[in-house]
Amino acid sequence: MGIENPAKGQDVSKDTAALAEQVRAGSRVALARAITLIESRKPEHRAQTRQLLTLLNAAAGRSHRIGITGVPGVGKSTLIDSLGSYLTGRGHRVAVLAVDPSSSRSGGAILGDKTRMASLAADPNAFIRPSPSSGTLGGVARTTRETILLCEAAGFDVVLVETVGVGQSEVTVAGMVDFFLLLMLAGGGDELQGIKKGVMELADMIAITKADSGNEGPARAAAGDYKAALHILTPPSASWKPPVITISSREGRGLDELWANIVRHRAALEATGEFEAKRRDQDVRWMHAMIEDRMRQVFLSNEAAAAKIAELERHVRAGLMPPSVAADEAASLISGCA
């Protein structure tokens, strides 16, 4: 099965090898093709997907992975458009993965992100990919994790993942990013309390949006309230105390402070070794989530299968195998034991 060295022993097609090389060269067209391939549910595409991810695994992992969430209307897309343009203006390459709510009838999605992010959509150093959630993994697109890897392999050093802002998707996105940004409005009212309570514990920073000219006072007051609330919550990391800032995406104020906090957060976690450990733990957790998603009703109690899964986990934790490739390996083993 080639587990001892996952990159060897695979019969990689010329087309897949060429596509991987084009992605590594930064081709936006090739990147879009690669994402379309991994989004495919056709069984005949799975082998090619495994080959592609394995070829690109070593080139991934170097970006800032940032999750952005907030209730509908908080200004997520406007902030991403402003922040992305701010970063590309400073030499960064920015990928935006916008997870859209899917239609319950057709499975389609409202893919309007490129119209809501007009400046970034026209930026040659930015790449926007709306992804229908298809109702899987808490509303997060089935292949969002793999799309992050592809964008990193293509040279994008900042990956922004926008959530739908409701339900379990926040928990899932927080488990695949380095920094989780929660956007809030001043004077949100009691109707938001249920959303605030759970998500605030996941946040690495809270930003009060729409602090435009004339609304600075209410925004600062809201920031003070959230700072007080954070004192009674356990932060995601002992190495970092989540700050609360105000921001005006329309006027471009607060973007420098926002980015500076993201950079400081990474430096703080890297200094303790927590950053790399978090990445490896996320990889392992994602591998298990995909095993469960693919196997569904298969009962994972067979001793031989469990031993093989533990072996795959060691490879994922060591960074030798992409989680989705490991999940496919495990699924085939368990099917044979069922």
140 versus 57: the higher-pLDDT residue is 57
pTM of the model: 0.81
CATH 3.40.50.300 assigned to 64-272:
yes
Paired strand residues for 207: 183, 245
pLDDT at 106 over 70: no
Q: Could you report the per-residue pLDDT of 69-92, keeping only the tens digit for each?
A: 988 888 898 999 999 999 999 999
Q: What is the mean pLDDT of residues 214-226?
A: 87
Q: Write the single-letter amino acid at 268.
A: A
Going by C-alpha positions, the residue among 77, 68, 67 that lies closest to residue 175 is 67
Q: What is the dotted CATH code of the domain comprising 1-59? A: 1.20.5.170
Q: Could you report the per-residue pLDDT of 134-179, keeping only the tens digit for each?
A: 555 544 556 888 999 999 999 999 999 998 765 667 888 888 999 9
**Extents of the domains making up the chain:** 1-59, 64-272, 273-338
Other Cβ atoms closer than 10 A to 122: 10
Helix axes of 144-153 and 323-337: crossing angle, nearest 10 degrees: 140
**Does 64-272 match 1-59 at the fold level?**
no
Rg (CA), the chain: 20
Strands (E), 6-137: 64-69, 94-100, 126-132
